[in-house]
Amino acid sequence: MSRSIPAALLVLFLLLAGCSRSYYDRGLAASEKGDYDQALALLYKAVQEKPDDHRAWRELGMAWYRTDSLGKAEEAFAASNRISPNALSNFYLGLIFERTGEIDKAIRVYGAAANLQGDGRTRKLIRDRLGVLIDGQLAADARRAVRGEDTLSVRSLPNNSIAVINFNGTYLPRDIQPMALGLAEFVAMDLSKISSLKVLERIKINVILDELKLGESSYADSRLAPRMGKLLGSRNIVLGAVTGVGESGFRIDGLLVNTVDGDIRGAQSREGDLNRFFDVEKKFVFALLDTLGIEISKTERDAIEEVPTESFLAFMAFSKGLSYERRGMYDDAMNSFRDAGNQDHGFIQASSLMKKMETTSSYGKEMKGDPSSRAKSFEQEVAPSIRPEGEGTDTGRIQAANLVNGNFIMNDELYWDYGSYPVAPPGGGPIWNGYGIIIIRGHLDAK
For residues 255 and 220, is the Cβ–Cβ distance under 8 A?
A: yes
Do 298 and 401 reside in the same domain of the chain?
no
For residues 251 and 261, is the Cβ–Cβ distance under 8 A?
A: no
Q: Which of 307, 322, 350 is the last residue of a domain?
A: 307
Do 407 and 265 reside in the same domain of the chain?
no
Whether 313 is in a domain gets the answer no
Highest mean pLDDT among 133-137, 270-274, 343-347, 433-437: 343-347
For residues 357 and 330, give the distance between their C-alpha atoms in angstroms, rounded to a whole number.
6
Question: Residue 166 belongs to what domain range?
Answer: 153-307
Do 421 and 280 reside in the same domain of the chain?
no
Whether 287 is in a domain gets the answer yes
Q: Which band of pLDDT confidence, cut at 50, 70 and 90, is reported for residue 371?
A: low
Do 399 and 301 reside in the same domain of the chain?
no
Do 162 and 273 reside in the same domain of the chain?
yes
Whether 216 is in a domain gets the answer yes
Do 303 and 401 reside in the same domain of the chain?
no
Do 295 and 172 reside in the same domain of the chain?
yes
Long-range contacts, stretch 264-273, CB < 8 angstroms, 24+ apart? 264/222, 265/291, 265/292, 266/291, 271/245, 273/248, 273/249
For residues 4 and 8, give the distance between their C-alpha atoms in angstroms, rounded to a whole number.
6
- pLDDT confidence of residue 57: 94
- pLDDT confidence of residue 440: 54
Q: Which band of pLDDT confidence, cut at 50, 70 and 90, is reported for residue 378?
A: confident
Is 50 exceeded by the pLDDT of residue 338? yes
Q: Which of 243, 277, 307 is the last residue of a domain?
A: 307
- pLDDT confidence of residue 373: 59
Q: Kindly report whether the global pTM for this prediction surpasses the value 0.85.
A: no
Across 49-63, 96-110, 157-171, 357-371, least confident range: 357-371
CA triple 36-39-45, angle to 5 deg = 145
Do 183 and 284 reside in the same domain of the chain?
yes
Do 169 and 299 reside in the same domain of the chain?
yes
The residue-averaged pLDDT of 356-379 equals 70
Do 303 and 407 reside in the same domain of the chain?
no
Whether 119 is in a domain gets the answer no
Going by C-alpha positions, the residue among 338, 331, 281, 333 that lies closest to residue 314 is: 338
Q: Which helix (H) or strand (E) holds 92?
A: helix 87-99
pLDDT digits over 173-219, tens only?
A: 888 999 999 999 999 999 999 999 999 888 888 888 888 887 776 77
For residues 98 and 133, give the distance between their C-alpha atoms in angstroms, rounded to a whole number.
9
What interhelical angle do 348-366 and 371-382 show, nearest 10?
140
Q: What is each CA distance from 69 to 54, 63, 149, in whole angstroms?
A: 19, 9, 39
Whether 202 is in a domain gets the answer yes
Is 80 exceeded by the pLDDT of residue 429? no
Is 70 exceeded by the pLDDT of residue 75? yes
Of 268 and 388, the structure prediction assigns the larger pLDDT to 268
Q: Which residues pair with 410 in a beta bridge?
A: 433
Q: Which of 259, 276, 307 is the last residue of a domain?
A: 307
CATH (domain of 298):
3.40.50.10070
Pairing, β 236-245 against β 249-258: antiparallel
Buried (b) or exposed (e) across 198-221, using 16+ Cβ within 10 A?
bbbbbbbbbbbbebeebebeebbe
Split into its structural domains, the chain has a count of 2
Q: What is the DSSP string of 260-313?
A: TT--EEEEEEEEEEGGGHHHHHHHHHHHHHHHHT----HHHHHHHH--S-S-HH
Is 50 exceeded by the pLDDT of residue 425? no
Whether 51 is in a domain gets the answer no
Whether 240 is in a domain gets the answer yes
Q: What is the DSSP string of 223-255?
A: GGHHHHHHHHT-SEEEEEEEEEETTTEEEEEEE
Across the chain, mean pLDDT equals: 80
Do 161 and 303 reside in the same domain of the chain?
yes
Whether 21 is in a domain gets the answer no
